[in-house]
């Protein structure tokens, strides 16, 4: 399978309202074709030397390689965290009509 020019950007939000605001903005500004807002998850992480726990809302963002830098810049500007998660995962293949839709949107 050949790698495509589409990617997933993974992030988390502190609550549903922030997740919805980020998703609405990224889609309405044309930076993402789609954002899936997941069910709350429990995150365990190290922050400033201490182990922390928080309930977060996962975001799965579909976009293209060409838009990913601008999307991440906007995500960081919208996000309340000091260091928001922004991980880019390449899509190596998939259903061609869906991947075309991501590119077009």
- Domains with residue ranges and CATH for the chain: 6-104 (3.30.70.120)
- Tell me the percentage of the chain whose pLDDT exceeds 70: 97
Nearest to 13 by CA among 75, 69, 102: 75
| Between 58 and 2, residue with greater pLDDT | 58
Count Cβ atoms within 10 A of the Cβ of residue 70 and give its class: 0-12 exposed, 13-18 middle, 19 or more buried. middle
Question: Rounded CA gap, 100 and 96, in Å?
Answer: 6
- What are 11-40's pLDDT values in tens digits? 999 999 999 999 999 999 999 999 999 999
Mean pLDDT across the stretch 5-12?
97
Provide the pLDDT for residue 39.
98
Share of the chain above pLDDT 90, in %: 96
Distance between CA atoms of residues 90 and 58, nearest Å: 18
Instruction: Output the pLDDT for position 1.
Output: 46
């Amino acid at each position: 399978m050949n790698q495509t020019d589409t990617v997933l950007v993974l992030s988390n939000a502190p609550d549903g309202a922030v997740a919805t605001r980020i998703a609405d903005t990224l889609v309405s500004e044309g930076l993402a074709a789609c954002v899936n807002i997941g069910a709350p998850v429990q995150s365990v992480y190290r922050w400033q030397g201490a182990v922390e726990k928080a309930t977060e809302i996962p975001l799965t963002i579909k976009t293209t390689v060409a838009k990913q830098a601008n999307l991440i810049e906007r995500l960081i500007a919208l996000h309340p965290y000091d260091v928001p998660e922004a991980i880019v995962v390449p899509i190596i293949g998939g259903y061609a009509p869906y991947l075309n839709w991501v590119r077009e949107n």
